[in-house]
Amino acid sequence: MTPAEDPLTPLQTGWPAMACALVLLLGLGLAGRSLWPRRSTSLALLAVAVVALLVRLGLLPALDRHVYDGHEADYWDLFRGERQPTRGGTVLYPAMQWGWWLLGRVLPAEPAVPVVLMALWGSASAAVLGAAVARLSVPLAGVLAAGLVALHPVHAAWSSSAYNVILPWGLGALALLATASLVRPVAPLRPRQAAGLGLVLGAALALVVATRLEAVAWAGPCGLLLLATRGAGASPWRERAPALPGLALGLALAGFAAWPLLFPGEVPGAGERALAFRTNWDLLRPYEPFDTLPALALVVLGAVLAARRWPLPTAALAALAVGNHLLLSTFDDYGDRHALTGLAGLAWAVGAGALASTGQARRLGAALAAAGLLVTASGLPAMRAAFYADDHAFLSTLEAPPWADLPVYGLDRVPTAVAPPGQCGLVAEDPRVARDPPLSHFNLLDPVEAQALRGPDGCLRWCADLQDWRWSSRGVRDRARRLHHLYETRPVAVVRDQDSGYACQVWQVGRRRR
């Protein structure tokens, strides 16, 4: 169906999210204090949120370096009124378009405004997840879980982006908190409070769908906890019954929000699921800095400890992390923005695992908490260096081994010395080095296509430049890391242009691993 034939207008695709926002506000008002932890825990989580904000706007150079890149640039254009909302789809979500366009009508069109708004939301989302963990276990576990999210480098980086990553993450955390408040209330719920929690849960999950379709995975642990937790009373469903209308309303609104995203057309990556899954199922780099075996062992230990004391929440959040990974591994552009959903399970494992033991075993819990926070914080310096880094920062990497010991060529030597046509295939997108047509990481996913690009003796080279090294909202770094995961790669040369400052690392793309 062509745009001219499309009968749906921007308002027709955007109204479900607008309705969800109103329902959410109503639910928050009705739920009142039943949604939030006790005063001491709330103050501790507020302190964690302040730390998170300092990390996002102080430690990371978000206010200085952030660039509206890729699809994020479209949301920036909407915010400043350079374009109007469209029907949208899974590339530019109607809910995100309307949200940024409406905010732009009341806020100054300064580049820092969306960055600060998202940093505030990301910082608050750490506290909200902590409140959910506290309700499902003990308060200190929630504070530890919130601290881990506050210091997590990928969560912090995406908390500066106008793209649809941290917004649905925070909404998913809010849905989890509403669920926890229903199944583990601090005090018996009044019908009004239960109704409000149902509205919050339903509307939050519907907004998750409206802002990032695959983030509906948050509904899994919410549903499991709601259905399987008996509660303290003899008939817990009598207390939860007022929440059912809100849940039903949220389900209906989620359907209305999802329909225009799926019809007409198809979900991105359709038709390539099996091939993508074979590539991504054991790809751990999106979970940096928890992508090493010691760090993974730490998470598993925490989950085992937590399961002994809180088996159902542990199972629910483990299912979220593992299920989200398996589901999103079928997407050919799987990256850290998708893996972030699983951070909720990781934070639970460290926070609840650290507080699950009693007596002498508490020392093990203290060590687990310290190690988890240390691993998380250890990734911040590297993220600071790579966060929207410039050519100068990238060039500094070429002054260290192995690149400092390799031959250096100018742009004029690429066709002759680096990758002679007819002898070596060349994967490069930058017009200064790319051939016609330019080739990208996606051209190497299919083994048949990749083999056809090689030279007669199998020679294939890849010119990895600044976009492949730095962190940005375009997610190119994720694709570059996937290429290293998929193939045996070996550094062979450096290409540098003194006039423009351009440089790239030349890799030999060898045997395919999977």
What strand order describes the sheet that includes 425-427? 408-409, 487-496, 503-512, 460-465, 425-427
| Beta-carbon contacts of residue 129 (< 8 Å; ≥ 6 apart) | 145, 146, 149, 173, 176, 177, 344, 347
| pLDDT for the residue 7 | 60
| Beta-carbon contacts of residue 39 (< 8 Å; ≥ 6 apart) | none
d(CA 286, CA 294): 16
Confirm if 7 and 193 have CB atoms less than 8 A apart.
no
Phi-psi category of residue 270: left, alpha or beta, with phi > 0 → left and psi -120 to 50 → alpha: beta
| pLDDT for the residue 4 | 47
User: By three-state DSSP, how is residue 488 classified?
Assistant: strand
Q: pLDDT tens, 316-334?
A: 999 999 999 999 999 999 9
Per domain, the residue ranges of the chain are 3-386, 391-512
User: By three-state DSSP, how is residue 491 classified?
Assistant: strand
Q: pLDDT tens, 138-160?
A: 999 999 999 999 999 999 999 99
The neighbour count for residue 324, using CB atoms within 10 Å, is: 23
d(CA 206, CA 439): 38
Which position has the token pair 């552009």?
333
| Beta-carbon contacts of residue 304 (< 8 Å; ≥ 6 apart) | 353
| pLDDT for the residue 114 | 98
SS3 annotation, 303-367: HHHHHHHCHHHHHHHHHHHHHHHHHHCCCCCCCHHHHHHHHHHHHHHHHHHHCCCCHHHHHHHHH
| Digitized pLDDT (tens) for each residue of the chain, 514 residues in all | 444 445 678 988 999 999 999 999 999 999 999 999 999 999 999 999 999 999 999 999 999 999 998 889 999 999 999 999 999 888 899 999 999 999 999 999 999 999 999 999 999 999 999 999 999 999 999 999 999 999 999 999 999 999 999 999 999 999 999 999 999 998 889 999 999 999 999 999 999 999 999 999 999 999 999 999 876 555 667 788 999 999 999 999 999 999 988 876 666 666 678 889 999 999 999 999 999 999 999 999 999 999 999 999 999 999 999 999 999 999 999 999 999 999 999 999 999 999 998 877 789 999 999 999 999 999 999 999 999 999 999 999 999 999 999 999 999 999 999 999 999 999 999 999 999 999 999 999 999 999 999 999 999 999 999 999 999 999 999 999 999 999 999 999 999 998 888 999 999 999 999 8
d(CA 130, CA 146): 4
- R_g over Cα of the chain: 24
| Beta-carbon contacts of residue 222 (< 8 Å; ≥ 6 apart) | 175, 176, 178, 179, 201, 205
Phi first, then psi: what are they for 342, rounded to 5°? Answer: -70, -10
Per-residue b/e over 387-419, b at no fewer than 16 CB within 10 Å? bbbeeebbbebbeeeebeeeeebebeebeeebb
CB < 8 Å & 24+ apart, contacts of 307-311: 308/356, 309/137, 309/352, 309/356, 310/136, 310/137, 310/352, 310/356
d(CA 42, CA 50): 12
**Which H or E run includes 509?**
strand 503-512
Residues in the chain, overall count: 514
| pLDDT for the residue 1 | 43
SS3 annotation, 410-431: CHHHHHHHHCCCCCCEEECCCC
